[in-house]
Amino acid sequence: MAAIANPAGREADGKARRKKVPLSSHGGWSPPGERPDPVELVASQDTDRVQALVAIRHGRMAESPFAFYRGAAKIMASDLSGTPASGLQAQLCGDAHLANFGSYASPERRQVFDVTDFDETLPGPWEWDLKRLATSFVLAGRDNEFDDDHTRKAAVHSVAAYRRAMTQFADARTLDIWYSQLSMNRIQNALPTKKDRKFVAKSAKKAHSKNHLRALAKLAERVGGEYRIKSQPPLLLPLRDLAYLGSSFDPDGLRRAVEETLASYRSTLADNRMLLLERFQVVDVALKVVGVGSVGTRCLIVLFEGRDQDDPLFLQMKQATNSVLEEHLPKSRYSEHGRRVVEGQRLMQASSDVFLGWTSESLTGHAYYWRQFRDMKGSANVAAMNPGQLRSYAGVCGWTLAHAHARSGDPIAIAGYLGTGDVFDQALRDFAFSYADQNDRDFHSFQRAIESGRVSAEQG
C-alpha cells in the first residue's frame, strides 16, 4: 500500500524505465526473420466460425488496406509481442483502432464517447493499444488520400493527446480519474470551427435517434398481429430461416440455447437490472452479421417485448472467443471468455450498458456476452473527414484511450515514463508509418490468396 500511496516513487519508477527501454526504441518496425504467415493467421481464426459466413469476413477484409487492418488484430498481436515495452501494464482493448471508438447512451441517457469494442481485452503493455491506434490513423489518412504530412499529423496527434492526457491523470485525484467522462457535447464545444462543430452535431443527432423503437421499425415486421425479425440473408437470419446456412443448424436447439443462456445471463446482472429484464419476454431471435473481424462468430439479436408491442428491447448476444492477445500474454484471470470481455469493458469504460452481462457455455458449446443493440450507438464517419477533422478525432481517441488505461493502470508511472517532450510521439509516428507499410504488404498477400483460391471471399 505504501508504494501505491507514494506518487514520487511511482513517477521515479516510470522515469527509471526509460533508461532500460528508451522512448526512441519504440520507433520503426522491421518484420522478424521467422514472422508467421499473415494469411495463415487470418485463416486460423475461421475454424470455429460459422463456415457459411467466413467468405463474407474475407470479402470485407479485402476491400482496402484499412478494412484488412480492422480484421487483422491477430496478426498485429503477434507482431507487437516482439516490440519494446516499458513493463507497465494496463487493461488493453486489444483492438484499439479508430473505428472501435464511438458514442453510446450512458445509464443516465447522455451521449458519451469511449472505447466500444472489447472482444480482445486483456491486461498487457499499454504501448500495444497505442501503437495499434496510431497506425490506424495512418491507414485512414491514406484511405482518404491525404498527403503524408496530414496523415503524419493525425498519427502524431493521437499519441501526443494520449501523453498529455496521461500527464493530467497523473496529477488528478483517484476518484476524479474514475468518474471523468467524455460527452458528445464536450467534444462538440471543444472544436475550433463552426464547420467542425456542425459535423459532430450531425453525427451525434443521427446516433441519438438509434433507439429500440427505430430498430423495431428497421429490423422487424408485423406478421399475424405479432412482430418478428425480418429475414435478410445472409446478413440477418431469424432462427426460422437458419436452413440457409445448411442442415447442421438446428433452429429449435438454438432457441433452447438462447433461453438457457438467458437464464445464466440474468444472474450476472445486478438485482435491480435483473428485475428490469424480467419485465420483458423473448419474441424472436436472429443471427446477425456485424463488423469486420467478428464476421462468422455467432452473433444473435434477441427481440424482447415489455408491456405491449410498442415497448421493445433489442439485446445482442455475441460469442466470446479467445483473445488474440492470449498467445502472447498471461491468460485471463476469468475462465469464462464472456466474463473476460464484460469485466474488461467495465474497467475501461467510464459508463457501461446497464444490460452488460455474460454467460458460460450454453447448449451450443460457446460462451457469450450480452449488451443492448443500437442504444444511441454512433461511430465517426472517417471517410467524410477532411485532414483537420481527422486530426481532431485523433486527439479525442488519444485522450479516451489514456483515460481507459489510467483507470486500470498506473497513470503516474506511465506519465513518468512518457515524460513531457515529444520523443515518444515521434517514435510512434515512425512505427505507425512502418507498420502501415507492413499492413499493406500483408493486405496484398491476402488479395493474392483470394485470387489463387487459397482463401474464399464473398465481396459486395
Residue 230 in grid coordinates:
425480418
> How far is 158 from 166, CA to CA, in rounded Å?
12
C-alpha gyration radius of the chain: 22
The segment with the largest mean pLDDT, out of 16-30, 103-117, 246-260, is 16-30
**88 and 96 Cβ atoms separated by less than 8 Å:** no
Q: What is the dihedral of CA 97, 236, 109, 95, to 10 degrees?
A: -20
- Supply the pLDDT for residue 291: 77
Percentage of the chain lying above the pLDDT 70 cut:
97
Q: Give the per-residue pLDDT at 5.
A: 60
pTM exceeding 0.75? yes
Regarding beta strands 226-229 and 122-125, do their DSSP bridges make them parallel or antiparallel, or are they unpaired?
unpaired
Who has greater pLDDT, 370 or 261?
A: 370
Q: Determine the Cα–Cα distance for residues 155 and 135; give it in Å rounded to an integer.
A: 7
pLDDT-derived band of residue 263, with 50, 70 and 90 as boundaries? Answer: confident
> Cell digits for 128?
500495444
Report residue 432 as a C-alpha cell.
Answer: 505507425
pLDDT by residue (tens digit) across 325-355? 999 999 999 999 999 999 999 999 999 999 9
Lowest mean pLDDT of 92-96, 253-257, 286-290, 299-303, name the range. 253-257
Distance between CA atoms of 125 and 405, rounded to whole angstroms?
Answer: 10
Task: Report whether pLDDT(262) > 50.
Answer: yes
Give 248's pLDDT tier (boundaries 50, 70, 90): low
- Write the CB contacts of 454 (distance below 8 Å, at least 6 apart in sequence): 39
CA pair distance 298, 384, nearest whole angstrom: 31
Please write the tens of the pLDDT for every residue from 310-331.
999 999 999 999 999 999 999 9
Go through 74-84 and write b for each residue having 16 or more CB atoms within 10 A of its CB, e for each that does not.
bbbbbbbeebb
Mean confidence (pLDDT) of the chain: 92
**Nearest in space to 133 (alpha carbons), one of 326, 394, 341:** 394
Cell 484471470 found at: 333
- For residues 295 and 62, the answer to whether their CB atoms sit within 8 Å is no
pLDDT for the residue 294:
83
pLDDT of amino acid 306:
96
pLDDT of residue 249: 63
Q: Work out the pLDDT band at 229, boundaries 50, 70, 90.
A: very high
Instruction: Say if residue 3's pLDDT is above 50.
Output: no
The pLDDT confidence band at residue 172, using thresholds 50, 70 and 90, is very high
Higher-confidence position of 201 and 266: 266
Cα separation of 379 and 391, whole Å?
Answer: 16
Q: Are 418 and 13 in contact (CB under 8 A)?
A: no
For residues 13-26, give the mean pLDDT.
Answer: 97
CA atoms of 125 and 92, how far apart (whole Å): 8
Query: Residue 388 and residue 28: Cα distance in Å, rounded?
Result: 25
Residue-level pLDDT at 432? 98
pLDDT of residue 296: 78
Q: What confidence score (pLDDT) does residue 36 get?
A: 96
- The residue behind cell 487483422 is 72
Q: What is the pLDDT of residues 186-197, one digit of tens each?
A: 788 777 788 778
Average of per-residue pLDDT across 20-49: 95
Find where cell 480484421 sits: 71
CA distance linking residue 69 with residue 458, whole number of Å: 18
For every residue of 316-338, DSSP letters joined together read EEEEE---TTTTTSPPPS-SSHH
Identify the pLDDT of residue 1.
Answer: 34
